[in-house]
Amino acid sequence: MIYNLKFKLSALKAWEELDGSVKSQFKKKLKERLKNPHIPSARLSSLPDCYKIKLRSVGYRLVYQVNDDTVVVTVIAVGQRDKNKVYKLANAILNSSDEEVGEN
């Protein structure tokens, strides 16, 4: 089963500001994750149903949430690896009313 992709509005804005090569790397990883989003080693224990994608070479992180009921993967936050900043941002977004937008 292939999951649909959505973005939180703030994550979409960050996505659009990414360098083309970084975006391309994330797209490749996201394509894989839409087929199999539950990667145990990428699970974030502090955020419900959330997982991470790390691009070590360029120092970026992407946090996404999986909803098996609606078969949707939602990108919550995207950002540079700066301690735990992207994970704190993801937590804040999950606790806000930031709306979801369709696949980009």
What are the DSSP calls for 18-79, one per residue?
Answer: S-HHHHHHHHHHHHHHHH----GGGB-TTSTTEEEEEETTTTEEEEEEEETTTTEEEEEEEE
Residue 104 lies in a domain: no
The pLDDT value recorded for residue 1 is 87
Say whether 43 is catalytic.
Answer: no
Q: What is the pLDDT of residue 35?
A: 97
What's 22's domain CATH number? 3.30.2310.20
Whether pLDDT at 104 is above 60: no
Instruction: Work out the pLDDT band at 83, boundaries 50, 70, 90.
Output: confident
Range of the domain at 51: 4-98
Number of domains in the chain: 1
Whether 61 sits among the annotated catalytic residues: the reply is no
Asked if residue 78 belongs to a domain, the reply is yes
- Catalytic position from the list 6, 8, 33, 52: 52
Q: Is residue 103 part of a domain?
A: no
pLDDT tens string 34-53:
999 999 999 999 998 999 99
